[in-house]
A and B are shown apart, each in its own frame.
Chain A
Amino acid sequence: MSAQTETFVIDLPGPRRKRSAKPKAAAKNKAAKRPKRKPTGARVYALKVEGERIRSQKQLREVFLSQRGDRRATLFVSSTATQLAPLVDVAHHEVGDLRLFVWEKLAPERREYLQTLFRTVVSPGGQLELLASDELAEVLSSDSRADLLVAGSVNRVEGVVVLYRGSLDRLAVPLGWFGRSSDVEPDFDDFEVTDYGQTVRFGGFEAATDAILYAFDAKFRSRMKQRQLELDDSLGGSVRRLRELRGLRRSDFAPLSSKAIARIERGEIKSPRAATLETIAKRVGVEPEQISTF
C-alpha cells in the first residue's frame, strides 16, 4: 500500500442571511417546518470524500498554518474556490507540501493565486479530463489513491500525456510508449481516465494504470516486485526467504557459488541436486525437506 496523505474536506457554511423581522418564535416554528437543505452540485461529491471536515474559517487558517514545514503531503478538497478566501490573511506564510482539488472551474487569476498557496491545484477546465465525479470521490477517499488516476491531459505538441494520481502527484508519459504490441492504435484525440482511475482510454485502446506506474514510477515498481517475491512459493523463493531470515549473503554457501544460489533463487535451477540442497539446508539450519516449507 502506498504512503497515505492526510485529507481535509473544506465545508464552510454559506453567507449568513438577514434576520427576519418576525418574532423569534414564529421564525423558529417556520424553520422547524422547513425541510433540511441537502447539499447540491459539487458539494455532494466533495462531501463524499473521506477526510477531516473543516467547518470554520478559523479552523481552515489553523489547519493551513499547522502544515508549515511538514514534509508530508496534505490534500485539501473543496467544492468551490470561494471557500478558500480566508487564506488571504495567511498567504504570506511559508507552508508545506499542500495539494488542492477544487470541484469547480477556476478563473486564470484565481488559479494563479491558489498556486501561490498550494503546490498542486487540480480543477476541471482547460485541457484536463477528469474522472467522473462519483468515481473521483471514491478515488480521493481510497487508501490506494496514489496508485489510481483522477485526471490527465494530452499534450500533442510535447508528445506526452500528463496524468494526475489520486494524491495529485503528476506523471508525464510519452505518447509513443502506448503504441506497442496491440491490435488497435491509440486515438489520442479521444482520451479519458476511467474504471475508478484504473484505466486510461485512448479511443478503443485501453492501458492499465498499474502498467503505466510500473513503467514510470520506480517506487511503485519496487513495491510490486516486493509483493511478487513474497508470493513466490517456488523452491527458489523458499531458499531466498530462508537466506534472508538467517541474515546470510549468497556468498555464504560455500562450496556453492553465489551465482549458483542466485540461479536457484531466480528459479533458473528448478530441481537442485540432493547434495546442493543438503549444503543449503545445513547452512540455514533446517532439514533439506523443510526448505520448501519456508
Chain B
Amino acid sequence: MVYTLDMPKPLRDKGWKVKIRNLERTEDPHVTILWKTRSWRYNIRITGFMDNEPDPRLVPGGVVDHIQEKLDLLRTEWDKKHPENPIDSGEGGE
C-alpha cells in the first residue's frame, strides 16, 4: 500500500501531502511532498531536499518539521516498500 503521512490539520486543509509511493524514481530513499501541481523529494536517509526545483523555500517549515518528527516511522515505511534500496545501505554512497 502507498504510505500517506498523517498531516496536522492546518497543513492538510491547505492541501499538503507527504507520501511514499510504491513506485518512485530509484534514487536515495525519500518522501514526496505534494501540493497541487508541485512536488518536492525530501531525502530521509541524510535529510534534506533532493532538488532545487521547485524552490524548497515554498514548502512551509511545518511540513519539514513534521517529517523530521516522524523520521523513524517514515524510514521504516520506506524499507517496507523498497527493500531493494534500504535506508542503511547507502551511507556515503552515491
Residues on A lying within 8 angstroms of B by beta carbon are: 138-139, 142, 144-145, 148, 178, 180-184, 186, 195-199, 201, 204-208, 210-212, 214, 224, 227, 231, 267
Contacts and interface: CB of A to CB of B under 8 A. Distances in A.
A292 B52 CA distance: 19
Interface in B45-94: 51-53, 80-84, 94
Interface string B7-34: 0000000000101011111000000101
A206 B94 contact: no
Interface of B: 1-2, 17, 19, 21-25, 32, 34, 36-37, 39, 51-53, 80-84, 94
B1 A204 contact: yes
Contact of A227 (B23, B24, B53, B80): B53
B37 A211 contact: no
A231 B23 contact: no
Given A195-B17, A206-B22, A183 B37 contact: no
A129 to B, nearest CB: 17
A245 B10 CA distance: 47
**Shortest 8 CB-CB distances between A and B: which pairs?**
A207-B23, A206-B2, A182-B22, A204-B1, A206-B21, A142-B37, A196-B37, A211-B25
A133 to B, nearest CB: 14
A144 B94 CA distance: 28
A186 B1 CA distance: 9
Contacts of B80: 183
Contacts of A182: 22-23, 81
A183 B22 contact: yes
Given A182-B81, A204-B2, A138 B22 contact: no
Contacts of A201: 2
A208 B32 contact: yes
A139 B36 CA distance: 9
B24 A144 contact: no
B1 A184 contact: yes
Contacts of B2: 201, 204-206
Contacts of A144: 37
26 contacts: A139-B37, A144-B37, A145-B37, A181-B82, A183-B81, A184-B1, A184-B22, A195-B17, A195-B19, A195-B34, A196-B34, A197-B37, A199-B19, A201-B2, A205-B2, A205-B22, A206-B19, A206-B22, A207-B22, A208-B32, A210-B39, A211-B23, A211-B25, A224-B25, A231-B51, A267-B94
A208 B21 contact: yes
B28 to A, nearest CB: 12
A201 B19 CA distance: 13
